[in-house]
Structure 1
Amino acid sequence: MPATADFVSTLYHGKGNPDKATVALTMALAARRKGHTVCLILMAEGVTLGVPGTADGINIGAPFEPAADLLRNFLQEGGRVAVCKSCMVHNGLDASQMDPRTEIITAPDVIDLLMGAKGSLQVA
C-alpha cells in the first residue's frame, strides 16, 4: 500500500450513524472525482462498512446517494478503502470477512496516511 494519498477521509461510523457515514463517503467520492488520490480509512464502528453488503440499506435521502452506491462507485473509480486492524478485531471481525478490495492497516499506517495527505476529513 502506498504510504500516502492526496486526500484522506477517516470514518468512525456505520449503520449506527448513517448521516456521518454518508457524508464521509460522499466527500471521499467527490475528492476522487476531482482527480485526487483518496484513501477512506474505516475505524471504530466504521470498519463494519468493509464487510460486503453492510452499506446496503443506508440511505438518508436526497440530495445524497445511498451509501452502497457511493462505496461501490468510490471503489470502481479507484478509491482506496483501508480498514483499521485493531478496530476490526475489537468489533469481532477478521480480514476474511472484509471486501477483498480493502486494505488492512495498523496505527502507524494511519499516521503515515494522515501526515502525508494534502487534505483530510475526520468524520467522528
Structure 2
Amino acid sequence: MLTTTDYVGTLFDNDSNPNKITLAFTMAVKALEKGHSATVILMMDAVHLAPPKALDSINIGAPFEPAAKLLAAFMEKGGQVLVCKACMVHNNVEESAIDPRFSIISGDDVVELLMSAKGSLQLN
C-alpha cells in the first residue's frame, strides 16, 4: 500500500448507486491518465464492491464506460483500491471475500492518505 497518493476517491455506496461507483472510478482513471497516483477507498456499504467481479453488472451507459472496464483500466495504470477493515467488520464482509488485488486498511490509514493527498473526491 502506498503511504501517500496524489488523488483519493472515497466511495460509500454499494451497487444500489451505480452512478457514484462509475463516477468514482472514472475520475480515478482520469487522475492516473494525468500522471498522478490514485487511490479509491471503499468505505461503509461500498465494501460490498470488494469481492472479485462485484462491478461486472454496473453499467450506467454512455458517455461512461462500464464499471468493470473502469476498474480494469484503473488497476492496469497503477491505481490502488483499499478497503476499510472496520467497515468490513460492520458489514460482515470476510477478508477471504476481497479481491486479492485490493488491500485492507484501518481508519488511521484513511486519515493519513486523505491528509497527504493533493486532492480528493468523496462520494457519500
- Measured against the shorter chain, the TM-score band is over 0.9
Q: Which amino acid aligns with 1:97?
A: A
SS at structure 1 position matched to 2:19? helix
Take 2:92 and 2:72, find their aligned partners in 1: how far apart are those partners?
A: 24
Deviation at 1:93, TM superposition (A): 0.8
- Structure 1, unmatched stretches of 5+, are none
Deviation at 1:2, TM superposition (A): 2.4
Deviation at 1:3, TM superposition (A): 1.6
The residue that corresponds to 1:116 in the other structure is 116
The answer to whether the aligner puts 1:74 opposite 2:111 as a matched pair is no
Deviation at 1:47, TM superposition (A): 1.2
How many residue pairs end up in the alignment?
124
The percent of aligned pairs where both chains have the same amino acid is 54
The residue that corresponds to 1:63 in the other structure is 63
With the length of structure 1 as denominator, give the TM-score of the two structures: 0.96
Take 1:101 and 1:53, find their aligned partners in 2: how far apart are those partners?
A: 12
Matches within 5 A, 1:1-124: 1-124=1-124
- Give me the CA root mean square deviation: 0.8
Q: Which amino acid aligns with 2:58?
A: I
Deviation track 1:57-84 (CA, whole Å, cap 9, x = no partner) reads: 1010000000111111101111000000
SS at structure 1 position matched to 2:112? helix
SS at structure 2 position matched to 1:69? helix
- Structure 2, unmatched stretches of 5+, are none
